[in-house]
Amino acid sequence: MIDELTSLLSRKDIEWELYWGKGRSGSFGIERENLERSQRKFYSGIGLRIGYKGKLGFSYITGLSHDRQTLERFVERTIKLARVSEVPFRGFPVPSKVLKVGGLYDRRIDEIPFEEAHAMALEVASLMRSVKAGGETLSGSLSFAVSSEGVVNSNGVELETRTTGMGVYIYAVRGTGTGSFQQTYRSLQPMEELEKGIAEARTNAELGRKAKRLDPFRRELVLEPEAFESILWLFLENVFGDTVYYRRSRFSERGLEVGSEGLGLEDDSTIDGLPGSYPFDGEGSPGQRTTIVEDGILRSFLLDYTFASFLGMESTGNALRSFRSVPRIGTSNIVVGTGDLNLEDFEGVVVKDTLGAHTANPVSGDFSLTVSLGYVVRKGELRPFRDNMLSGNIFELLKTLKPGKKAERRGSFISPRVLVEASLV
Amino acid sequence: MELFRFAERLAERYGIDYYEIRLMKVSSTRLSMENGQLDELSQNGETGIGVRAFNGAWGFSSANDMKRAEKAVETAFKIARLSRGEARIYLGDPVEEEAEIKTRKPFTDVDISDKLSLLREIDGLLKGTPSRSVSYADSLVETLYVNSLGSEIRTRVPRIGLRFSVTVRGNGDMQTYWKTFGGTLGWELVEGIDLPHWASLVEEKALQLLKARSPPSGEFEVIMDPELTGVFIHEALGHAVEADLVKNGDSILAGRLGERVAVEELTVVDDPTLPGKFGSYIYDDEGVKAARVEVIKGGILRTYLNDRETSVYFGLEPNGHARAQSYAHQPLVRMGNTYVEKGSWGFEEMLEEVRDGLYMVGDKGGQVDTAGGTFTFGAKEGYLIRNGEIGEMVRDVALSGKTLEVLGRIRAIGRDVRIEFPGYCGKGQSVPVDDGGPHVLTRALVGGTR
């Protein structure tokens, strides 16, 4: 059907781009250690962007098996939208070399029979029942997905990719303490990984149960990757090309000092096997490694084709989308640079996770988040705390940052522990 | 319809006790304008099917290619047959009804060029600010819900939303302010807004925030305005009374039905039947009629918001709070329009009670740890209160507290209820909600940078 649509569009005097997607997913919800909700979903569709006399029209259609008449109506509707639209059209990418990114597809996930995936979820539920302590509740989910996506445009771009994914979520409640483990993968994971997740969620719930509020203080503390990720997005919003172009960013130019000498930040969609990786983005621009911050200096914004063109720059391959939407600038994998500090044995206050990150203000950079779990480490002993507010300003905080040695991955965020100055209220 | 006959035959063959099918058609329009430049203009339609089958546990399947509709039915049934659990669900009597939320001026009758003119008008009103944003969205959701009991429910629910914001800079700093309108209404929502008033208010507030200092830190007496009361009651209490979370041990209010959990003056309601509100609906996504629910009355926890499964689990009356983001999502227990009922206090009387505290206005979103009972949320602006007088404005104020402590420390509930603060609530799925209440005086932890 894509070929039929392509030939239909080629006969019109317009610029066009098709973004299509097709896939299925299976997921399994475990409640109170019992498998209670299983599902299998199918989706497919095509997004069509049309450039007409400098203006852009967009429309989508669900399904990939339409007759010619439906396809013609779809094309006409999108052309009509381009005619009334005043959205500026800056062209589509031209073909360029797209490198293969390894480890994004695992045949075992693609071909796993539903019954087998279901049995795996039952095994997780049974594992939960065997380890749970009195007064403890364990829940969670397992999910598997396979998807194919492609971009074709009037400049000759014609790309297609097939990827797989697996997600694990474990949630433990022990009295008023809660703990979770969340991770995403491109390949099928062994039961040991799930056991590790259950153990981690349970440990955190037990720490949470014992945790009390700390006395307020302001000094150096360590942020674990989860806590750092929840406030780093305040900074990242400021490096998106659309935010810069629309003057909602703190930054209008590159080369500024935005952090300590130890701060390095990359967006990298080319790392093998990671959930945020892709060979090409939602407009067919190649994926790449982009240095956002190097030695504390802002080196690049994150851009798609349109906003790169508005700003007189090159796309960094950060157009994210589904067939239902036009491309929007987003991150792929965010990699925070490591340093020399050994923060694994850090003695002092460590914040593990926070609540309420989306209530903070990316424009002023001020944040006050509730600590959902942290601990004070003294002579190797760990005393948990929670319910304090972690307050500060992201732009000030980054100037005090010293990165640790060892990076950890949570989904598409890879970061070491970081030492920063902030207040606990 | 052939599909339903197919489902009936297959259910018999697979031994499925109960199933439900949702067929949905969504028509939507979105426009957004940034600094006078149109950023998005789209009109789309989508149809899809979601099928759920019960066999002591749920099997679900969905598709957006209607050629796969039978396959979706078959898949959901196969999963249910494979699943076999111990859970039970409320069945009730079959319902046959055709219902719609009627509007005075359907937005489907308004030409897209008029919608574009609206954006231009608002953009023009905000022109004093170089960085500004206006967005408009409407959607009409038509649902045909059918289940194995013989229910057949057709509903039409329109929803409209408008938002504008400005970002200002000065003194080496930046600030932003915005206003959101929305409801299960037609174009009359837009026509009823005093645009010049709201546009200048948004600009003024952003500029004032530039000069405002960060709030002090520590425990304070806090007066929340109706908008903040709304997010407070949604976050601090509403999520903790969602029966699916309670069932999973994930709520501070587990095992507390019938007990006093707040001051006697407090009554909290979730009412999806309020006309025109953003979180309103006629039937939930399990085909149960939406109902007004008094969650807390006179400080006593009366019930949990529930669905077909959790109402049986807790032995409660089913109250129609199962909602799904779309046909491709399974219903979860969700809120609709959540609010605090009016109390007996006037705002001035309340102010006089405060020696050293804060008046906090507007909602910037929040989050809650329902098991631990800790919540946090942000206010758009705040004001210091000294000896009953409102003073200096403060910015980027966030509040935190323990649900039960804060509910027990409420000292005054106002008479001035407003429920007009539309938004989306996330719980793995996003659904439209509204919330509100009157001014409320309590005590909580304020996080500031000074």
Name, in order, each residue with C-beta under 8 angstroms of A69's C-beta and a sequence gap of 6 or more.
none
Q: Which of B146, B177, B211 delimits the end of a domain?
A: B211
Q: Could you identify the residue written with the tokens 């013609």?
A: A72
pLDDT at B447: 79
From B211, B231, B247, the end of a domain falls on B211
Name the residue among B179, B7, B30 with its Cα closest to residue B107.
Answer: B30
- Whether B305 and B205 map to the same domain: the answer is no
> Does A356 sit within 8 Å of B57, measured CB to CB?
no
CA distance B396 to chain A (A): 7
**Residues of chain A positioned with their CB less than 8 A from the CB of B365:** 356, 358-359
pLDDT of B450: 55
Q: Are residues B144 and B226 in the same domain?
A: no
So what's the pLDDT on residue B366?
84
Distance, CA of A29 to CA of A38 (rounded, Å): 6
- B141 touches B156 (CB < 8 A): yes
> Could you give the maximum distance between any two Cα atoms of chain B, in Å?
74
Residue A62: which of B65, B131, B378 has the nearest Cβ?
B65
H or E element at residue B98: strand B96-100
Measured CA to CA, the distance from residue A23 to residue A164 in angstroms comes to 10
Co-location of B182 and B232 in the same domain: no
Across the interface, do A368 and B167 touch by the CB < 8 Å criterion?
Answer: no
- Region(s) of chain A under CATH 3.30.2290.10: 2-207
Phi, psi of B354 (to 5 degrees): -95, 120
Q: How far apart are CA B17 and CA A50, in angstroms?
A: 49
Minimal C-alpha gap between A57 and chain B (Å): 7
Query: In this complex, which of B87, B167, B373 lies closest to A176 when CB atoms are compared?
Result: B373
- What pLDDT is attached to residue B449? 59
CA distances, B122 to each of B135, B159, B177 (Å): 10, 20, 15
User: A344-401, pLDDT tens digit by residue?
Assistant: 989 999 999 998 877 788 888 989 899 999 999 999 899 999 999 999 999 999 999 9
What does DSSP assign to residue A272? T
Q: Assess whether B241 and B384 both reside in one domain.
A: yes
Of all residues in chain A, the one with the smallest CA distance to B218 is A425
pLDDT at A1 over 90: no
The residue of chain B with its CA nearest to that of A387 is B374
- Across the interface, whether the CB atoms of B368 and A355 are under 8 A apart is answered yes
Q: Which segments of chain B have a pLDDT < 70? A: 448-450
Q: What distance, in Å, lies between the first and last C-alpha atoms of chain A?
A: 59
Assess whether B329 and B200 both reside in one domain. no
pLDDT single digits (tens) A86-109? 999 999 999 999 999 999 999 999
B166: left (phi over 0), alpha (psi -120 to 50) or beta: beta
Average pLDDT, chain A: 95
Q: Per the CB < 8 Å rule, is B395 touching A392?
A: no
Cβ-nearest to B371 among A178, A242, A366? A178
Strands (E), B229-380: 268-270, 293-297, 300-301, 322-323, 332-333, 337-340, 356-361, 366-369, 374-379
Residue B374, both tokens: 């800790």
Write down the pLDDT at residue B368: 87
pLDDT in tens, A398-416: 999 999 999 999 999 999 9
Domain span holding position B23: 2-211
| Minimum-distance CB partner of A391 among B37, B217, B247 | B217
Whether residue A6 is predicted with pLDDT greater than 90 in this model: the reply is yes
Confidence of residue A216 (pLDDT cuts 50, 70, 90): confident
Output the pLDDT for position A219: 84
Q: What pLDDT is stored for residue B448 in this prediction?
A: 67
d(CA A376, CA A44): 50
State whether B201 and B233 are in the same domain.
Answer: no
Cβ distance B398 to A392 less than 8 Å, yes or no, reads no
Domain spanning A2-207: CATH 1.10.1060.10:
no
What is the model's pLDDT at position B172? Answer: 83
Instruction: State the pLDDT at residue B19.
Output: 97
Q: Return the residue in B26, B214, B367 with the most chain A beta carbons within 10 A, the one to mutate for interface testing.
A: B367
* CB-facing half-sphere around the CA of A355: CA atoms within 13 A: 30
**CATH number where B109 lies:** 3.30.2290.10
Number of domains in chain B: 2
Q: Cβ contacts of residue B434 below 8 Å, gap of 6+?
A: B182, B183, B230, B274, B277, B278, B279, B280, B336, B337, B338, B419, B420, B421, B422, B423
Shortest Cα distance from A153 to chain B (angstroms)? Answer: 20
Query: A178 and B250 in contact by Cβ < 8 A?
Result: yes
* pLDDT-based confidence at residue A302 (cuts at 50, 70, 90): very high
**Which residue, of B178, B211, B244, is where some domain finishes?**
B211
DSSP A305-351: HHHHHHHT----S-EE--TTS--EE--S-EEEPP-SB--TT--EEEE
* Shortest CA distance from A36: residue in chain B: B57
Confidence class of residue A65 from pLDDT cuts 50, 70 and 90? confident
Instruction: Please indicate whether, in this complex, the C-beta atoms of B39 and A31 are within 8 angstroms of each other.
Output: no
**ipTM rounded to 2 decimals:** 0.90
